Amino acid sequence: MRIAFSDETALYRWAWTEGLESLGQLDVTVPLPWHSGDARDGEIERLLSAVCEAVSEQGQRFRQGDTFDYGWTTLRFDAGAATGDSAGRLVISELAEPLLATPPTYARGAALVAGLMRAQAEALTRNGIEGEPAHPHRSDLAVICTRVPPSGPEYPRPLVLERLSDPQRGESGWVIRCADLAHNHDSPQALASVRLLHTVAGFPGIVPYLGLPAGSAVLMEEQEVIVFRPGENTGIPDTARAQHWTL
């Protein structure tokens, strides 16, 4: 299996898989609304490689209308056109509103997921954290302080995010709490489980940090964000204004 990209002479750039048909799976393609050399090409290559891995190593088979959870969002496989670059392939569509808890609607392409994945990867690089991001899915659960409303819009500052583990079995590994030392966060009555989607709907500024690995922490103050790398007790100010981040 390999990933191919069309060149700049094409009317519309595409990326696609090659070799899945030998496994009884239609090859998969995605339209790219940007020029070659864009950093998002790397995210698309990783996305299509994940589809290949699901087919070749996990035995999954995708048909028209099937969905695939990837990173923060969910993708859908739609039928290609009768002619042209998507003919005979499945075309990827993505959630049109990946940060909102609204009924799912899909839009052709993967520009939003590429942007999300890049933002979370850049949060690691920018703050000197090695390795790959541990992307949670929007449906994963987080433990949240009862003084932090589950869906904003007014969040207490400072706000503390701690990642106790990487995502697994629907759990994001994130704990989100207020910074009031007098509030006993060891008490079960002080905490609740909430899907990440409902949390970011009120505070999308946390999204770029949600790929930080286990052992990381983030202190979100009014004017800056302090990132604590795994194993370190001293935080460093993030240079990005990610607390005001939007897609």
- Residue by residue, pLDDT tens for the chain (247 residues) are 899 998 877 677 999 999 999 999 999 999 999 988 898 999 999 999 999 999 999 999 999 999 999 999 999 999 998 778 888 999 999 999 999 988 999 999 999 999 999 999 999 999 999 999 999 999 999 998 888 776 655 666 788 999 999 999 899 999 998 888 778 777 778 888 999 998 887 788 899 999 999 999 999 888 889 999 999 999 999 988 666 677 7
Residue 61 domain flag = yes
Its domain, for residue 228, covers: 129-244
- β-pairing, 225-228 with 236-237? antiparallel
The last residue of one of the domains, among 116, 140, 162, is: 116
Residue 124 domain flag = no
Q: What is the pTM of this model?
A: 0.90
Residue 227 domain flag = yes
The last residue of one of the domains, among 116, 137, 169, is: 116
Q: Return the structure tokens found at 66.
A: 């099937």
The last residue of one of the domains, among 86, 116, 146, is: 116
Taking the CA of residue 76 as centre, how many other CA atoms within 13 Å lie in the half-sphere pointing to its CB? 14
Q: Return the structure tokens found at 45.
A: 């290559």
Cα-based distances in Å from 230 to 21, 145, 223: 43, 22, 23
